[in-house]
A and B are shown apart, each in its own frame.
Chain A
């Protein structure tokens, strides 16, 4: 059976059009190569649009003491030193220029009194560092990039879903997928591919992530032979909405705490003071008065424990709820209404005000919010070269959440948007240079393409009747219950068995209807990557026998120095997923000094 598909050819194709993908496409186009930008949703709807708090960049507009070294140090310490040091260095060094560039492209950040870009406090950042627009920074960023990109001669393929990467011997040759609107197949021939597909949060039930976050890029890279690292590290944002049930998981920006909000338990206690780990004790306030003074005077006071890195805060909330000190609906209280005036709250946090008012019937200027942890981000991803973002497969590049390394075991808030800009640009640049060097024409194995196409059509004709939505829901339940914030070996093994069972059932999914915009079919196809990344996370979590950042083991509660020198690597060989431990790149002496000098 011959399968029909259309063909497009570009020097570089970028998969994903959030912050990283748009920035990559813009940069590649600037190098004069032909660029295709492929995105699952309409342009401008990618997950970046949901980012609230801001872009971390040591501009020094509010605190002149800030500089890239301080940002670098905060990032590494936030990641519990498991970060790829070179990525963390490039990120801290280049983020300010990327923010200023956005401004030159039309972004309007909130201003200081002198007319410069205002910066706000966020968890784990020594100084107020986040360039922001109220609490809708992601929207400003994606819109700016989107409207800049449409004038750069980039071909945009909207509502087009890439299913597989194509490889020919060693190199990447393109990608294959389908148009969501028509269900028709499409082949992209390309010399270089940039993955900018975001994360995997849809493997969890309670998540801040949209339907798009099905781990497509992680899975496609793995299947194409690329290494993944750090997949055990999943970030649970400490403050997701918990009530009513239909909004459970939607993020409440860390900006609430950055702007003066505080966490309380049902006794009214500011419990975070009891959860400051040894690692952060010297730099964190130990009393309420000092913590409150810190907002205005950072020189003479230490940071409030409300703004410890996210992994610490999420674990603390988890423990409070477990101890019976939670809120009525299983979270804790987040209070800004008693601490800041209503006008200030509405100006700084308009979306939060609106979101609670409309969806929960809560006026945050008067009432406390109920919040609890929600799956938010995966630190792990495609292993890349720090400078070029190239994966272990020649011609395959990755940037943003789909790439691993920058954030180590835990990402600081605000470091995601800056990551997208810094490494999105680098991915676009180096993919374009790679494509120029390669030259020649791209030849694709049509038998390989047709085999994929036939596989994608299978759900229409299978003799079984499994429901794709039910399998997705069971996977989410499994991960929520067994691959939790706090993990143990027996539960992780149990999860693996369940995932295996779901993989079998996924092969029996049958969908009704035709190929035109059929979400049942789309969900059936997404299951393959969802189950793959769920397995990667679980296997990596079993392997790492210690607790660090976004990976906490009940059976191995300590952070172990030996494990601090190793990444868990996931790769596929002969159809099975394999796990390895490999050494981290070693930080040069001059950077190591930054951690010794200031305690």
Chain B
């Protein structure tokens, strides 16, 4: 198997640059394997986050040759061996060290999302939900919180509107709760006022980088934006007033 030249970012919030490492690879190796090999043999203190190494935990997000990806799911043989391969930390969050960033912004936003408010059970005390009614929400529940969608979102990455904007990860969280068949809360106001969904201009960058293939924009963000538009539609508002029901998700 070929030897690769890896250009890995080394440094902290104050200073840093790319350092070159030459690594021999074996069949099937992923970028995370190569980082581990560098750690074990050339740079014991090279900092990176990882847990499952199977694309399930979303810890090892990085920018590989400029593309935000999971290191554990990026096979070396999909990258050209001739040119150096750069591995950089995800850029949107403050750097801690090397490939590790401070993603606490996401955990702060998570706390602001109003949780499930359960409706009463069926008369026999059980809850029933039909599979077809939860298919779409199960898609959102596939999220592994790798925060790659947050990393590429222009509102966060380029405009740094972290205070007033929750980001795509939390738009699908809000959508999942709003579409939950047992939930009784309406988060439309929250999505607009607290989470800043209006700032999203649907460039679909989030959807493109999602390692779980979640249709963040089409199935999550756009229906929520439409619902907000509906909520301000006076006819819909009147209908709801008389019928006493909340608008159904698109």
Contacts and interface: CB of A to CB of B under 8 A. Distances in A.
A513 B57 contact: no
A469 interface: yes
Contact of B115 (A148, A181, A244, A520): A148
B3 to A, nearest CB: 16
B47 A518 contact: yes
A108 interface: yes
Interface stretch (A135-143, A264-272, A448-456): A135-143
A47 B51 CA distance: 8
Interface size class of B (residues with CB under 8 A): 35 or more
Nearest to B144: A139
A516 B49 contact: no
Given A140-B141, A470-B40, A247 B28 contact: yes
Task: Report which residue of A247, A511, A514 has the largest number of chain B beta carbons within 10 angstroms of its beta carbon.
Answer: A247
Contacts, number: 163
Contacts of B83: none
B45 A50 contact: no
Given A106-B180, A140-B141, A359-B73, A516 B127 contact: no
Nearest to A468: B44
Given A106-B116, A111-B129, A520-B39, A359 B45 contact: no
B127 A245 contact: no
Interface stretch (B93-101, B188-196, B231-239): B93-101
Interface size class of A (residues with CB under 8 A): 35 or more
A114 B128 contact: yes
Contact of A469 (B33, B39, B98): B39
Nearest to B173: A147
Interface stretch (B131-139, B159-167, B220-228): B131-139
B53 interface: yes
B130 A115 contact: yes
A50 B54 CA distance: 8
Contacts of A520: 39, 44-45
Contacts of A49: 51-52, 56-57, 144
B100 to A, nearest CB: 5
B21 interface: no
Interface in B64-109: 73, 75, 96-98, 100, 102-103, 107
B44 A519 contact: yes
Interface stretch (A28-36, A37-45, A572-580): A37-45
Contacts of A148: 115
Nearest to B143: A143
Task: Report which residue of B45, B115, B142 has the largest number of chain A beta carbons within 10 angstroms of its beta carbon.
Answer: B45
Nearest to B132: A111
Interface in A201-226: 210-212
B138 A133 contact: yes
Given A42-B59, A108-B134, 6 more contacts: A136-B56, A150-B111, A245-B28, A358-B55, A359-B73, A520-B39
